[in-house]
Amino acid sequence: KCLHCEITKTPQWRSGPSGPKTLCNACGVRFKSGRLFPEYRPAASPTFVPALHSNSHKKVIEMR
């Protein structure tokens, strides 16, 4: 499960701030390019609220 958006299906797992294979492909690409911050909140964080989190790539996958 992606530690950023909680998606479970991805074409490739990528490295993130918590180590290798912790981010889905979309979040990993954004993290590597520096665009995942400042909104980055690991799903395990007590302050993470999925309903308030921007995860538009997850919505695109659901529409396919």
pLDDT for 10-56, tens place per residue?
Answer: 999 999 888 999 999 999 998 888 777 645 555 556 666 666 655 55
**Token pair for 60:** 């695109």
Task: Name 37's Cβ contacts closer than 8 Å, sequence gap at least 6.
Answer: 31
Question: Which SS3 state, helix, strand or coil, does residue 23 take?
Answer: strand
* Residue 1: per-residue pLDDT: 92
**Token pair for 33:** 């390019």
CA 64 to CA 59: how far, in whole Å? 9
The reply to whether omega before 20 is within 30° of 0 (cis) is no
